[in-house]
Amino acid sequence: MLAVSRRSPLLRNSSYALYRSFHINLPLKSDFAFVFDIDGVLIRGKKPIPQAKPALELLNKNKIPYILMTNGGGVSEAAKAQEVSHITGFPNISPLQVVQSHTPMKSLINDPNYKRVLVVGGDKDNARKVAEDYGFKDVTMPIDIVRNNKSAAPHSMYKPEYFEKYSKDIDTSIPIDAILVFNDPRDLSSDMQIVQDLLNSNNGLIGTKRDFKSWKDHTSPSIPIIFSNNDYIYANDYPLPRFGQGAFRMLTETLYNTTNKLKPDQNLDSLILGKPFKLQYDFAHHILIDWNARLEANKSHESIQNLPKLGEIPETTPFKKIYMVGDNPESDIKGANDHGWESILLRTGVYQDEDYDSIIAKPTVGVFDNVEDAVKTVLIDNGIKV
């Protein structure tokens, strides 16, 4: 294992090569690994990208470690692994290989500032189940607040049976500590209204409003808000890119900034997770190291995962190179380049060749037609026959 230097997180350090050559009796370990984006790389909406299955098979055959890192979410890591397996037809994906946009929120479950959280987004009440499964003890969703008083969201599209199945009674006298946006809103008008109410509330108490004049820093909301991803657009099976959670973030900021009469150079304070941010790449790096260690110890079936603290940088890594394979220059490629990984851009998703000159970050390895071509090229570059 090598120490990760600050300047060059993923080593250009020759001591690793020496280590390998002096330990010839050890089983060959890969000194490179892959991190795959999901939408636009392995699948598009509910449709497979046909080259995904052979690409993953090739990696398994050659014992090259990899994980998946998506800005999507709203379901458990196990459900996402199952969905990708089902759509691609590649059965061997473990939940421990999946980092969704909200996965790092697992690291907040014991933080006293996140006792009662408002979880926003996703189908039905899946995000509530995910948050509870992570270990959050008291999870409210906007639908619970609307159930309590329908006038709170006058344009809500929730049907009576929806309230019946997916909402619960809540004690509105206990304040909400923080807002966690797990996924894109489904009932946008409810989510928009309830989130704004709480950002401008009296310390997170539902149905109250903070005193505008006595609130000193108006960029600071009454309770913190964490967005789990910033994708303005993403690729599903529709021919054009679709708006993602980043669009909800913009909407939230615009409404908050207007309500609080912020100046043009001011903005709502928030934390944004997901690609391209360092926090997400460091978290995924920890998960990749953990997964690799399991593979080497033949413990990939065990379900307890070693989780880092939020924002913790891996101190050591067995990898000389990590290849991020993505379709979105703004998230996948920018994040990889900014944080010392190699980057590979594919033509199977958001990216279009005519945009190459104007994309925010250029891939370090190159642009490829699909994930299989990219994987083959990297394996060959690393001396593996394909």
Q: Which residues bind ligand G3P (CB under 6 A)?
A: 37-40, 70-72, 229, 231, 234, 244, 328
Alpha-carbon distance 199 to 317, whole Å?
A: 40
Amino acid at the residue 371: V
Nearer Cβ to ligand G3P (40/142)? 40
Nearer Cβ to ligand G3P (10/38)? 38
93 binds, among Mg ion, ligand G3P, none (CB under 5 to 8 A by kind): none
Q: How many helices (H) and strands (E) does the chain have?
A: 11, 17
Amino acid at the residue 120: V
Q: How far is the CB of 311 from Mg ion (least distance, A)?
A: 24
Nearer Cβ to ligand G3P (158/234)? 234
Alpha-carbon distance 233 to 240, whole Å?
A: 10
Binding mask 316-335 for Mg ion (x = CB under 5 A): -----------xx-------
Name which of 67, 25, 22 is nearest 293 in CA terms: 67
Q: At what angle do helices 52-61 and 77-88 cross, to 10 degrees?
A: 110
The DSSP output letter for 43 is E
Q: How far is the CB of 9 from Mg ion (least distance, A)?
A: 23
Instruction: Examine residue 95 and say whether the peptide bond preceding it is cis (omega within 30 degrees of 0).
Output: no
70 binds, among ligand G3P, Mg ion, none (CB under 5 to 8 A by kind): ligand G3P
∠ CA 276-281-287, nearest 5°, is 145
The DSSP output letter for 5 is P
Alpha-carbon distance 236 to 240, whole Å?
A: 8
231 binds, among Mg ion, ligand G3P, none (CB under 5 to 8 A by kind): ligand G3P
Q: How far is the CB of 122 from ligand G3P (least distance, A)?
A: 10
Q: How far is the CB of 51 from ligand G3P (least distance, A)?
A: 16
Binding mask 219-238 for Mg ion (x = CB under 5 A): --------------------
Which phi and psi angles does 21 have, rounded to 5°? -70, -25
79 burial type by CB count under 10 A (0-12 exposed, 13-18 middle, 19+ buried): middle
Nearer Cβ to Mg ion (45/91)? 45
Nearer Cβ to ligand G3P (176/375)? 375
125 binds, among ligand G3P, Mg ion, none (CB under 5 to 8 A by kind): none
Q: Which two tokens stand for residue 45?
A: 């909406």
Q: How far is the CB of 245 from ligand G3P (least distance, A)?
A: 6
The DSSP output letter for 106 is G
Q: How far is the CB of 231 from ligand G3P (least distance, A)?
A: 4
Q: How far is the CB of 94 from ligand G3P (least distance, A)?
A: 17
Q: Which of 10, 32, 34, 39 binds Mg ion (CB under 5 A)?
A: 39
> Under the rule (CB under 5 A), what is the footprint of Mg ion?
37, 39-40, 327-328
